Amino acid sequence: MKVFLDTNILLDLLLDRAPHAEAAEALIAALEAGKAQGFVSGITVSNLYYILHDLNKRKDPLPSIASLLTILEVVPTSKKILLDAMENGFKDYEDGIQYASALTARCTHLVTRNTKDFRKASLSVVTAAEACMLLTIAKTLDRLP
């Protein structure tokens, strides 16, 4: 299973935003354990830095981001992705970039807290908690004879 993580999932984790941080942490742990492959867009990395640095100028966010990058693959933000995002019908251009990135990486699921923003998606859009349940079900199915 290949899952694409929207920026808000990682912000929930890194900012410990209740009640969403717990599911985000469980999902990252599952990815770290190799239960699925995790992907993010190139813009997610820069957005994380910008937001985290802006919120707490005294703490360097790079070590936390670097730690996530040992677990997650980064989909490079290409010209094609940027153009696809302009044409894929999403109201929010950033959401369009995330979606085009998920398609480029051939992800099976896009994980976000804002599922309603991805109604036009042709791939499965789930919350972090739902993604964890899917990984549990997949693991159970793998054990069946």
Q: Count up the domains in the chain and report the number.
A: 1
**63 and 14 Cβ atoms separated by less than 8 Å:** no
pLDDT, tens only, 69-117 = 999 999 999 999 999 999 998 999 999 999 999 999 999 999 999 999 9
Residue 143 is predicted with a pLDDT of: 54
Domain range for 115 is 2-143
Average pLDDT over every residue of 123-140: 89
Average pLDDT over every residue of 60-67: 94
From residue 110, alpha-carbon distances to 63, 75, 105, 107, 113 in Å are 25, 13, 11, 7, 10
End-to-end CA distance of the chain: 20
pLDDT, tens only, 13-55 = 999 999 999 999 999 999 999 999 999 999 999 999 999 988 8
The domain that holds 138 is classified in CATH as 3.40.50.1010
Residue 141 is predicted with a pLDDT of: 55
Choose among 107, 123, 127: nearest CA to 115.
Answer: 127
Cross-strand partners of 41 = 75
Angstrom distance (rounded) from CA 21 to CA 16: 5
Residue 144 is predicted with a pLDDT of: 46
